[in-house]
Amino acid sequence: MEALERGVLPVHRWTGTHRYNQSDMPVREQSEVVGHAVMAMYLYSGMCDVSSVFDDEGLRSTLRILWDNLTRRRMYITGGIGPASYNEGFTEDYDLPNATAYAETCASVGLVFWAHRMLQIECDRRYTDIMERALYNGVLAGISLDGAKFFYENPLTSLGNWERRIWFGCPCCPPNIARLVMSLGQYAYSQSETDAVVHLFVGGTATFLFGDESLVLRVDTPYPWEGRVAITVMTRVTSPFGIRIRIPGWCEEFTLELNGRAVGQPRLDRGYVRIERSWQIGDQIEVNFAMHSELVCARLEVLDNAGSVAIQRGPLIYCLEQADNHLPPGSSAPFEKASLDDRISLDRIVLPMHTKLESSFDPALLGGIVVVTGDGAYDSGNNDELYCPTRSRFKPFGITAVPYFAWNNRQRGEMRVWVRSI
């Protein structure tokens, strides 16, 4: 409004629209996430801060509407946001192309910022689940395993033409992801006047202040590879207080123990369990999340993913890389795109909806990861004709999938998150 009073139209030089910087209407009237994705995340984070300072429930109501619009209609399965390169941001509902996904690393970082602030307004796992999804997938994919190279954009399909780079002409992503990783502790925990809250599951210690007393919790866990989390009380606090622990939305079964004894029928409050008592040094809570590999499908409105499935295990989204998917020894490549080492073209792999997925930890692969395997098939159809009659042309093929965050850390090759299904 100030710009209009000065006779200046605050439109972007590329797009020529006020929606680019979310200035097309007052923020309290907005119901869709629009424009530049990083700007939007920073704006909504600021709105959260203002709503907290002034206890503004009206602004919080707007934020919840915007949150639902983003997470139910305009977010990739990896927690990436902003599909378009022309505005580095949003387009319309369910427009989530894979090969041309912009999904800027900074935008996923911004989503973590916003989710964290929403979580401070109300302790609800729907914010924590998205924060975790963005952290483990959309953010971590932006940096190589050795910490030396970065993605600016994060596609969900690659023909082998994408590689991380050491630096960019617009160098926002490298320092943004670095500061987030270094400040991870503030996202993993929080506290109220009565509770210490564990949001994310990361090995280490955390200190909470209750009046003049300090509480230290130690967390031991192999998460995200396994679902076991042990939380040990390291200091004594004289007054009773609660410990809240998030039960992730992806987890359908879990067990909870206190000092080796099962906690019967734990009650969930917005996705968190709470145990209150007078804690002693050495008290331990152990929670075990059942962690299964499963196939996930998208809404039918997401046209790019029609007839396709993705693999999820715990908080991690998986992908196929050409480096892991070869024809059986002695086979000859039956189609044009197969390379000399018989790597299979990923667009010919299909996964039955009923396929059984197995997982195993490989300490020698990519620094030590859990890989997911399953029985699929590959299309050995005729390459000579553009169209041909339908016939049975699928041959058995065992697939291997790795976490999306770890892709492009070996030789160049194709990558797919979404795989055709039959």
Per-residue pLDDT of 88-126, as tens digits, reads: 999 999 999 999 999 999 999 999 999 999 999 999 999
Domain boundary residue, one of 183, 208, 238: 183
Compare 235 and 4 and report the one with higher pLDDT.
235
The reply to whether 281 and 380 lie within a common domain is no
Among residues of the chain, what percentage have pLDDT more than 90?
Answer: 73
Residue count of the chain? 422
Within 10 angstroms of residue 311's Cβ, the number of other Cβ atoms is 27
Q: Indicate if the pLDDT at residue 12 is higher than 70.
A: no
Note the pLDDT tens digit of each residue in 352-402: 999 999 999 999 999 999 999 999 998 877 667 778 777 667 888 999 999
Distance CA(388)–CA(210), nearest Å, equals: 72
Residue 333, pLDDT score: 41
- Are 154 and 20 members of one domain? yes
Asked if residue 126 and residue 26 are part of one domain, the reply reads yes
Helix (H, G, I), strand (E, B) or coil at 210: strand
Are 160 and 81 found together in one domain?
Answer: yes
Assess whether 205 and 239 both reside in one domain. Answer: yes
Whole-angstrom Cα distance, residue 183 to residue 63? Answer: 24
> Can you tell me the distance from the alpha carbon of 266 to that of 243, in angstroms, rounded to the nearest whole number?
13
Residues 91 and 172 reside in one and the same domain: yes
Q: ∠70-127-303 over CA atoms, to 5°?
A: 30
Query: What contacts 186, CB < 8 A, 6 or more positions away?
Result: 116
**53 and 155 assigned to the same domain:** yes
Q: Which of 137, 167, 183 is the last residue of a domain?
A: 183
Q: Are residues 252 and 301 in the same domain?
A: no
Whether the per-residue pLDDT at 19 is higher than 90: the answer is no
Q: Which two tokens stand for residue 45?
A: 């984070």
pLDDT (0 to 100) of residue 291: 95
Q: Examine the domain organization and report whether 144 and 218 are in the same domain.
A: no
Structural domain boundaries enclosing 239: 188-289
Residue 41 reports pLDDT greater than 50: yes
Mean pLDDT of 216-236: 96
Average pLDDT over residues 338-348: 66
Q: Which whole number is the average pLDDT over 48-58?
A: 96
Among residues 316, 306, 408, 302, the alpha carbon closest in space to that of 371 is found at: 316
Confidence (pLDDT) at 391: 67
> Same structural domain for residues 176 and 247?
no
Question: What is the CATH number for 274?
Answer: 2.60.420
- CA pair distance 6, 9, nearest whole angstrom: 9
Question: What is d(CA 74, CA 421) in angstroms, rounded to the nearest whole number?
Answer: 23
Q: What is the pLDDT of residue 15?
A: 55
Same domain, 87 and 219: no
Cβ burial, residue 16 (10 Å; 0-12/13-18/19+): exposed
What integer is the mean pLDDT of 263-274? 92
Contact at 8 Å (CB) between 63 and 47?
Answer: yes
Interacting residues of 135 by C-beta distance below 8 A, sequence separation 6+: 79, 112, 187, 200
Q: Which of 77-86, 380-389, 402-411 is the least confident region? A: 380-389
Give whole-number Cα distances, 149 to 145, 156, 173, 263, 408, in Å: 8, 18, 11, 45, 10
**Residue finishing a domain among 289, 306, 332:** 289
**The total number of structural domains that make up the chain:** 3
Burial class (CB in 10 A: 0-12, 13-18, 19+), 269: exposed
Q: Is 369 in the same domain as 310? A: yes
pLDDT reported for residue 337: 36
Catalytic residues: 88, 172
User: What pLDDT score does 1 carry?
Assistant: 55
Token pair in block for residue 112: 């973590």
Per residue in 284-338, pLDDT tens? Answer: 999 999 999 999 999 999 999 999 999 999 999 999 999 999 765 544 443 333 3
